[in-house]
Structure 1
Amino acid sequence: MILKKFLSGPLAVNCYVAADEATKKAFIVDPGGHNADMVNYIRENKLQIEYIILTHGHGDHIGGVPAALEEYPGSKLVACLHEKAILEDPNMNMSKMTGGVALSLKADHYVTDGQSLKVGDLNLEFLHTPGHTPGGMCIYVGDAVFSGDTLFLQSIGRTDFPGSSYLAIKESIENKLFTLPDDTTVLPGHMAPTTIGFEKENNPFV
């Protein structure tokens, strides 16, 4: 898998571009804002963006979606079914507060726990991991998992928002993420990457 991280949006969200090396078919995870370096990288590497995938609907993770859909008109927006209400409601997704523009988004594909999607030869498995938001999800691909704001390096996502739940996020991490192999790389929405094994031993919140 070809993988590149870009900081995007006012809150410097980790936005990822991932591609199947053989076919150059690719997807973007959590475009928090427009990033010219990302656009140039995709163009220079001749990547074909098929999907824009959201781990959850908070404004700092979705601010760049309109620009990305315009830049890659053949791409489809993917989100968890349980995040539909947050994506559509600017008050719930806090997009104006985080990015200055009120956004209401509708995904082309709403997915549920355990569903998968092929991008070239890559198999993407969607894991519903509520807690930070009701429809938070992680994306498991090969030996890596895009964890959004569910799991961070020695931390977890905030649970003081409407619809958040500490018990739910703890259960999501223990029952979904911590069942993945220990050497799985965790690619979070903020901060540095980590591994499942390291977090099992060192995360004080779980």
Structure 2
Amino acid sequence: MIFRQLFEPLSSTYTYLLGCEETGLALLIDPVIASMERDLKELQRLGLKLAYSVETHVHADHITAALELKKKVGSKIAAPAAEQLSCADTSLEESKPFQVGSIVLNPLHTPGHTSGHFAYLFNDRIFTGDALLIEGCGRTDFQQGDADALYQSVREKLFSLPEDTLVYPAHDYKDRHVSTIAQEKKRNPRLGGDRTLEEFREIMANLNLPYPKFIDYAVPGNKQCGVCPPNLPENLGKYCQQMTESAQG
């Protein structure tokens, strides 16, 4: 298996490239339109053909590259069934493995950041999207966010995985790359240790994070698998993806 962790600095988003050495097929988890050309160059350098873009959820801080990748190289789009994206070629469901070549992702429904959020388990690692970040978690104050649901998703589902499972999140704002389930169970200040649901509710209710600056453009665009809204301000329009910083958690 070929694996690359790729970083987009504007939204501090990690995109994950997984490639099958036997078939030459690959998938990208959470590709960002700002970094599409970089990702295509990396695929070409590795001699891989992109088969699928895979989304963890409808993002609020960037435009996904899924649709443009489909137009450019013929890749398909896979997204959580719970997000109800009519533009997706494949709707992913929990307990139904998703396979590209020798790569088999096991989807886990992890609502809370958004109601349709999914994480993907692959062998010794879990791609947690915005549900579980390194020593943090995604916001729960928009897109049908629910602190109770996120607490259950992390504590009951993700924290039940083997402790040496590698945690690869969709974002990190402190130049960190990977964690483990054991580390998050011990050190996550929001969800680790003996943190109660009541305490977590209070933490999330008092984050006082600013309204995401790109959400009003990103969400409708990403519900179409990566369309730049026609009302995008001129200063954002040239590349579609250019935006100001918009921390998600």
TM-score (norm: length of structure 1): 0.84
What amino acid sits opposite 1:151 in the alignment? L
1:166 corresponds to: 147
TM-score (norm: length of structure 2): 0.70
Contact 2:113/2:143 (8 A) holds in 1: no
2:61 corresponds to: 60
SS at match of 2:61: helix
User: Structure 2 stretches of 5 or more lacking a match?
Assistant: 192-249
Q: Identical aligned pairs, as a percentage?
A: 33
1:153 to 120, 128, 134: 134
Give, in whole Å, the separation in 2 of the partners of 1:181 and 1:161.
31
Contact 2:165/2:181 (8 A) holds in 1: yes
Give, in whole Å, the separation in 1 of the partners of 2:21 and 2:104.
13
SS at match of 2:47: coil
1:205 to 177, 190, 193: 190
1:132 to 109, 113, 119: 113
Deviation at 1:23, TM superposition (A): 2.6
1:41 corresponds to: 42
Give, in whole Å, the separation in 2 of the partners of 1:185 and 1:197.
9
Give, in whole Å, the separation in 2 of the partners of 1:22 and 1:32.
26
Q: Which has the higher strand share?
A: 1
User: Structure 1 stretches of 5 or more lacking a match?
Assistant: 88-104
1:118 corresponds to: 99
Q: Higher Cα Rg: structure 1 or 2?
A: 2
2:90 corresponds to: 109
Residues 154-197 of structure 1: CA distance to partner in whole angstroms, max 9, x if unpaired?
Answer: 10111111300111011001122111111111110101321111
What amino acid sits opposite 1:17 in the alignment? L
Higher relative contact order (CA 8 A, sep 6+): 2
Give, in whole Å, the separation in 1 of the partners of 2:30 and 2:135.
21
Residues 62-112 of structure 1: CA distance to partner in whole angstroms, max 9, x if unpaired?
Answer: 432222112320x2211111112xx5xxxxxxxxxxxxxxxxx61111122
SS at match of 2:116: coil
Kindly tell me: are residues 59 and 109 of structure 1, through their superposed partners in 2, closer, same or farther at Cα, counting changes over 3 Å?
same
- Moved beyond 3 Å, runs of 4+: 59-62
1:182 corresponds to: 163
Equivalenced residue count is 186
